[in-house]
A and B are shown apart, each in its own frame.
Chain A
């Protein structure tokens, strides 16, 4: 077992655990959007940032991917942590105004308005890539993936056309933290090739 501190409380973790996994074990609240225990973590949304302190040294890390280590001091509610969280929530509120899930989580952490302009009032997707990881790691198909780069990045099937690779399992819809996949799945799912034979009466 590895022993360390979260918010000055001693906690214990199995080797190989992340800080977030340990915090969840002890029911310490750390907000996340792009994290799901069923798939590998990617550290994309940065909501789970925590501060590591050692004397005067301190550093912010993403708890969903930071491996636990003996004796580290983790803080989940410092000013720097809250600053990152607040700005990320504000940017998300402006980016995905149609997502009720984001609104709820942001409100829970005290962010109810954004000072940024809203570009697309119908947008829900935050491009965290959880759906693509689920499609790759759980379903094993990679029917959808990340397309393009930077601000132009989005989720899609190859060549932006419905793909026959998709089996319409709905895994991506279930796992999506913002509800964006609900309206997107039809842009991904192609027409299944199998012909259904009528059941014998």
Chain B
């Protein structure tokens, strides 16, 4: 919010009251010069990979070398994920409100010259609608952003996550101050319960009920009680928790502190997977800064409330995202789940009452406390309130981070926000909930995306990955992929999961090699039922979901694999053949040049042919051909 190049204060004063916080906020806002330009460069994972770090350096260098007037010297900031990952690196320029996409370091001087010095947009960097060709100047006009409702993601991409001052300027820690000065802990729990907030980690357990359960356990067992953040996001295709922790770490921290206040916890843990180094770094910085300002640690905001937190790094096991495995991991043991017949709120970390919530759930808490439960309950649908952040990935034009109210129809997310599929074809299926979720077919495109509707359809909300698939994706292959992932990630403690997932995968392997039988499909379903019923933890019991939902909705495709030895999507290599349509082939020779086997022959400007006996079915010829002459059957 305030300009990055203005040194605000060198020494930090503890904030000892709500008034202190408000004064400090005012001081930050006063130092903000609305006319001074600000360049916000997205530093989400995708944009960093596409060169946003180099871009930031180039922008800074360009400012120095081009003699920008001191009055308009822009503040250049690295922000969290701005959302439209497929068009990165993204740049947002204030006060013009301009939104640039696919910006490279070589565009830096042009941006400084045209936009900062001359106040004009750089046209070729603006977002162009792939269908209509319309140019958009501002972020809020682009359909991808326009149709979203950003509450959790509100500040991500707008603030520098490494500066607490930025966060305070946009209203950070106001909810905490409000709770500490005007609310009792019981009132905080009541607000969360009334808001209808449900856990964003996957199962959708009502957060308020969880907190109340912990309070009851405390009555019986006394304190200490622990609050824990589950940041062990590991679903293939999911990155929303990563984006929240990287882009707005204070939101998670403030939520956690509010939870600690509500439950009377003195210690909290943030369990973050080690593969998220930036998230860990930003949270560490956030905690240090919050501590320095007296928002974390002893006597928070001058009150009697003391709370400390520490970060624990997950060492790369997907199963540690499961609550009991996460606790054993924090306790310093191998991350194996333990039976959950006594709930975690009663017997969690070190056998004490524990409240474990997902990153996104914690990030929802401050806005509920600040705006009230009724405000929150009005967003979304009655039994699934609020918004949900999704990662839209796969065969969709606008790959990125989206936030919509609960109950938004699936088609709205994929077709309107996601911009549909490349080529304009309808989607075949959407996999929600990662390896624990299920495939939703096109004919259910109007399904409202909320906890209960998804579960009814056999899928689940999961953490929020949405993988869009088209008719070139084979459902057998998809089910195999997720089973292989979980087979690798199973802790191996209980037998149905350790042996059963391998056996399910073996049956699917047979299908894709064309050596399955129709009765194997029934075996697969029986075994899946045994794993669902028999596995010790949620990793195992939800593992058969992708396979079961694909059998439910795409049984004909399974039958094509086992009865006809055909893969309708053209994916399973043992069941397909590539050939060239002589009428469509122009003899351009590009396929024969690219073929790694050298098995495509033909003269220039004459139809080519593929030698099937030598073909390894890599599909490069099909990708190369501009005339759609390569056919897969």
Q: Mark A143-167, 1 if CB is under 8 A from B, else 0.
A: 0001011111100000000000000
A158-B339 Cα distance, complex, nearest whole Å: 27
Q: What's the dominant secondary structure at chain B's contact region?
A: helix
| A181 → chain B closest CB, angstroms | 18
Are B495 and A61 in touch, CB under 8 angstroms? Answer: no
- Give the contacting residue for B334; candidates A115, A116, A146; CB below 8 A: A146
B422 at the interface (CB under 8 A from A): no
B489 at the interface (CB under 8 A from A): yes
In this complex, how many residues of chain B approach chain A with their Cβ under 8 Å: the count is: 31
A49-B496 Cα distance, complex, nearest whole Å: 11
Are A151 and B527 in touch, CB under 8 angstroms? Answer: no
What chain B residues lie within 8 Å of A95 (beta carbons)?
A: 499
| B334 → chain A closest CB, angstroms | 7
- Give the contacting residue for B534; candidates A42, A49, A146, A148; CB below 8 A: A49
Are A46 and B536 in touch, CB under 8 angstroms? Answer: yes
A81 to B, closest residue via Cβ: B533
A87 at the interface (CB under 8 A from B): yes
A64 to B, closest residue via Cβ: B339
- Give the contacting residue for A49; candidates B342, B489, B529, B533; CB below 8 A: B533
Q: Mark B387-422, 1 if CB is under 8 A from A, else 0.
A: 000000000000000000000000000000000000
Are A62 and B488 in touch, CB under 8 angstroms? Answer: no
Are A88 and B529 in touch, CB under 8 angstroms? Answer: no
What chain B residues lie within 8 Å of A149 (beta carbons)?
A: 317, 490-492
Interface size class on chain A is: 35 or more
Are B529 and A92 in touch, CB under 8 angstroms? Answer: no
| B324 → chain A closest CB, angstroms | 12
- Give the contacting residue for A116; candidates B492, B503, B535; CB below 8 A: B503
B540 to A, closest residue via Cβ: A46
Are B494 and A46 in touch, CB under 8 angstroms? Answer: yes
A129-B536 Cα distance, complex, nearest whole Å: 15
Whether A44 contacts B494 in the complex (CB less than 8 A), given A83-B530, A87-B530, A91-B500, comes out as yes
| B578 → chain A closest CB, angstroms | 31
Are A87 and B527 in touch, CB under 8 angstroms? Answer: yes
- Give the contacting residue for A44; candidates B495, B526, B533; CB below 8 A: B495
What chain A residues lie within 8 Å of B487 (beta carbons)?
A: 150-151
A45-B492 Cα distance, complex, nearest whole Å: 11
A115-B530 Cα distance, complex, nearest whole Å: 15
A126 at the interface (CB under 8 A from B): yes
A42-B339 Cα distance, complex, nearest whole Å: 8
Are A91 and B495 in touch, CB under 8 angstroms? Answer: yes
> From residue 508 to 542 of chain B, which have CB atoms closer than 8 A to chain A?
523, 526-527, 529-531, 533-536
A182 at the interface (CB under 8 A from B): no
Known: A43-B536, A45-B495, A87-B500. 7 other contacts (CB 8 A): A46-B496, A66-B339, A67-B342, A87-B531, A92-B495, A117-B506, A150-B489
8 A-B pairs closest in CB distance? A153-B492, A87-B530, A84-B534, A150-B490, A150-B492, A91-B499, A60-B533, A46-B534
8 contacts between A and B (CB under 8 A): A43-B536, A46-B494, A67-B342, A87-B534, A88-B496, A129-B493, A150-B490, A151-B492
